[in-house]
């Protein structure tokens, strides 16, 4: 295994570990394990995803170490700028290896296949990560080989077949490809490195991976990519925001401006919905059964979503009984449910205006007093709002907790694909 350090990159991605495994015998099992880890939930799923938290790359399709290093640098730059096109920095390497924007095709072309026998494994990490090689060897059954032996496993015939004389790699028009290597793998790599770096072929056994010239070109390329990504990031965000705005067309006009007070006696407006996904339920603390059942369902859903995403889904309870639901009463009530449940109340006019904005029906009389004994008839569902405070969906009493979770997961996934972020 070789380790590369980049002091000019963010600390959490400043160290790159690269290993070459040959005679791999468990490719099919490894592929199944990666797929399974992506679907697991809870602590067990987190542990399994960490166990396979690497980039697994078909070594037969890597032209040179520099070819791989260029994709790694692009992935690190995208991570640093917050514009990953894929879910992780490691899957971004596969995306960067592909000349198009299709991650599915990139995984198919460069990822693990059932019958592969040569595998490159990459881990991008902070300097403090230990036992990386042990982790790789624990999940890959094969022979650990020196990186400079990559030329022995590169499948040039397969590359040409895949890309029609290397068109897939966008190198097919270079005159250097007309040079005959006569099957010499080391000569093939010298040809490719000449194309990629515009320098002479190098003697790996004498100078290692980089000569001073190629190192300078590599650093200059990294700096250029950094500024390119900064420019492209703003364009991409503007385009994705437009796509999100377009998705709002046809949705019910639910939500709007409101001003209430939290159970911690703090002001809360529609602006506090921004930057989080929100589940909003309207009810009252003296509700005998339906409200507790719905809030239990909401709390259970948020609890499971917290395990997968962290605290990005905000649960909210809005009282429709301002006469009896004081700040202290609401505080006592919400403490019985999810620990992050935000309780909101206000005067009658504020509550009525909020209910009107959210199209919620409630029957609390405007002249009700705190000591009156009455029940409140109200709408029985909670709203799902996106990080822009826009309505997404509504969940009624018949909707199960599992259905709520699945719907939220689907929307977060679509949002992440459109924006590169979960919120």
- Which helix (H) or strand (E) covers residue 212, if one does? helix 212-247
Residue 326 tokens read as 């004081």
CA-based R_g, the chain, Å: 28
* 378 annotated as ligand-binding: yes
CA 161 from chain center: how many Å? 33
d(CA 377, CA 398): 18
d(CA 55, CA 99): 18
Which residues does 391 contact at the CB level (< 8 Å), separation at least 6? 251, 252, 253, 254, 255, 383, 384, 385
Reference 152, options 195, 129, 183; nearest CA is 183
State the angle between helix axes of 42-51 and 27-39 in degrees (0 to 180), rounded to the nearest 10.
140
Q: What's the CA angle centered on 312, arms 308 and 315, to 5 degrees?
A: 105
d(CA 7, CA 385): 41
Strand segments (E) across 170-300: 259-262, 267-269, 277-283
Torsion sign (Cα): 305, 307, 308, 313: positive
**Beta-sheet pairing, 313-319 with 342-345:** parallel
State the angle between helix axes of 401-419 and 290-309 in degrees (0 to 180), rounded to the nearest 10.
40
Which residues does 336 contact at the CB level (< 8 Å), separation at least 6? 292
Q: Give the residues across from 316 on adjacent strands.
A: 280, 342
**C-alpha pair distances (Å), 140 with each of 21, 67, 412:** 8, 23, 32
φ and ψ at residue 322, rounded to 5 degrees: -65, -25
Residues within the annotated binding site? 287, 291, 378
Residues within the annotated binding site for Cu cation? 287, 291, 378
């Amino acid at each position: 295994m070789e380790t590369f350090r980049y002091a000019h990159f963010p600390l959490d991605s400043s160290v790159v570990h690269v290993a070459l495994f040959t005679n791999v015998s468990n490719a099919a099992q490894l592929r199944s394990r990666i797929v399974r880890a992506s679907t697991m939930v809870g602590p067990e799923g987190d542990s399994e995803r960490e166990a396979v938290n690497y980039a697994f790359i078909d070594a037969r399709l890597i032209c040179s170490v520099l070819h791989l290093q260029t994709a790694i640098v692009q992935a690190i730059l995208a991570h640093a700028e917050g514009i990953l096109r894929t879910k992780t920095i490691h899957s971004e390497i596969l995306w960067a290896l592909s000349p198009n924007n299709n991650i599915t095709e990139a995984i198919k072309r460069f990822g693990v296949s059932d019958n592969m026998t040569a595998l490159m494994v990459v881990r991008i990490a902070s300097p403090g990560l230990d036992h990386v090689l042990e982790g790789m060897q624990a999940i890959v059954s094969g022979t650990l080989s020196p990186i400079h032996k990559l030329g022995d496993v590169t499948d040039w015939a397969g590359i040409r077949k895949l890309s029609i004389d290397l068109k897939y790699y966008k190198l097919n028009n270079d005159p250097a490809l007309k040079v005959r290597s006569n099957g010499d793998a080391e000569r093939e790599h010298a040809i490719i490195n000449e194309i990629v770096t515009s320098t002479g072929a190098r003697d790996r056994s004498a100078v290692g991976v980089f000569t001073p010239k190629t190192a300078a070109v590599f650093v200059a390329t990294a700096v250029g990519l950094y500024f390119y990504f900064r420019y492209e990031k703003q364009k991409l965000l503007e385009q994705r925001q437009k796509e999100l705005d377009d998705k709002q067309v046809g949705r019910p006009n639910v939500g709007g401006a409101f001003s209430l007070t939290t159970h911690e006696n703090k002001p809360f407006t529609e602006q506090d919905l921004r930057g989080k996904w929100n589940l909003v339920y309207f009810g009252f603390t003296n509700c005998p059964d339906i409200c507790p059942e719905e809030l239990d369902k909401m709390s259970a859903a948020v609890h499971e979503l917290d395990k997968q995403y962290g605290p990005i889904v905000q649960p909210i309870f809005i009282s429709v009984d301002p006469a009896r639901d004081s700040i202290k009463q609401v505080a006592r009530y919400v403490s019985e449910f999810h620990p992050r449940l935000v309780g909101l109340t206000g005067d009658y006019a504020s509550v009525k205006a909020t209910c009107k904005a959210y199209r919620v029906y409630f029957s609390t009389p405007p002249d009700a007093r705190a000591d009156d004994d009455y029940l409140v008839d109200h709408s029985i569902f909670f709203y799902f709002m996106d990080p822009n405070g826009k309505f997404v969906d509504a969940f009624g009493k018949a909707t199960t907790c599992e259905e709520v979770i699945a719907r939220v997961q689907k929307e977060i996934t679509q949002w992440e694909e459109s924006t590169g972020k979960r919120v």
